Homo-oligomer: A and B are copies of this chain.
Amino acid sequence: MPSSAPTPLPLATLAQELTRFRATRPLVHVLTNEVVQEITANVLLAAGAAPAMIVAQEEVPAFAAIAGAVLINVGTLHSVRLAAMEQAVNAANAAGVPWTLDPVAVGALKYRTDFCRELIRQKPAAIRGNASEIMALAGAGMGGRGVDSTSGSDAALDAARFLAHETGAIVAVTGETDYITDGKTTLATPWGHPIMTQVVGTGCALSALVAAFTAGARNRLDAVASACAMAGMAGQHAQKHSQGPGSFKAAFLDALYHIQPDNLAEISA
């Protein structure tokens, strides 16, 4: 599994992906946790996608099949929602709709860890998590390679490459720097600000944006990296124009709404 060192996502690639994304206004079928439904919908709307939270077993299969992309987020997983998620993944796969997994808190809790490990056998298009989630999801497979014993982001990058290789997904491990990998090539995006971790749902909403960018993507690695870059840039810009986590959230949505292919240099400055 040879892999090259991370390289920065070029702004020109982001501009292309953003142009494509805005032109298609993808419909995203969101199955997420109870806490972040509103911010997830608002991030998708502000960025330029169309969210739809459809949860009933009577509706999920038909809707997942016509969506541009599907998001599965296990933050407040319970048995009824789990069954709907399985339906959505099956319907998405049957219809060729890409689906993205956000493995919230996997590793710490066996129920969701078992479920996510089963899910990643179902050909996710993308997986987005923080370092500990990505390491935990990869952990069993990596076995004696000792993920937990090595340090921070390097260990997570190894785990991300392993996961991408095993599942065929683009894996994004986000933190101070975001790494996005297909197992061979790894892109890095440096934007963002630590205040984002003090606002619930910024990570979960990023996963929804990742899903949105996979809709109709020709190059999924570029698409997922562009979603991470867009959110990171908007966050960095918003932090400069706010006074704390409350005003940050409004400024973040405003920035997502105003980012354009021709103002990336300005927003990310």
Contact = CB atoms under 8 A, between A and B. Distances in A.
**Copy count, this protein chain:** 3
A56 B42 contact: no
A264 to B, nearest CB: 17
Q: What's the interface size class on A, roughly? A: 35 or more
Contacts of A76: 53-56
Nearest to A44: B200
Interface string A10-46: 0000000000000000000000011111110110011
A63 to B, nearest CB: 7
B244 A46 contact: yes
Interface in A229-248: 242-247
B79 A56 contact: yes
B38 A36 contact: yes
A77 B52 CA distance: 12
Contacts of A39: 38
A38 B35 contact: yes
A95 interface: no
- The winner among A46, A56, A108, A242 for most chain B CB atoms within 10 A is A56
Nearest to A81: B56
A111 B39 CA distance: 26
B246 A201 contact: no
Contacts of A108: 63
Contact of A41 (B35, B54, B257): B35
A251 B247 contact: yes
Contacts of A199: 42, 45
Interface in A55-76: 55-59, 62-63, 75-76
Contacts of A257: 198, 244-246
Given A53-B76, A57-B78, 20 more contacts: A35-B37, A36-B38, A41-B200, A42-B246, A42-B249, A46-B198, A46-B244, A56-B79, A56-B111, A59-B110, A59-B112, A62-B109, A63-B108, A243-B258, A244-B257, A245-B253, A246-B251, A246-B253, A246-B257, A247-B254
26 contacts: A34-B34, A34-B37, A34-B55, A35-B38, A35-B53, A38-B201, A41-B200, A42-B199, A45-B199, A45-B245, A46-B246, A52-B105, A53-B76, A54-B105, A54-B109, A55-B78, A59-B77, A62-B109, A63-B108, A198-B257, A242-B254, A244-B257, A244-B258, A245-B253, A246-B251, A247-B253
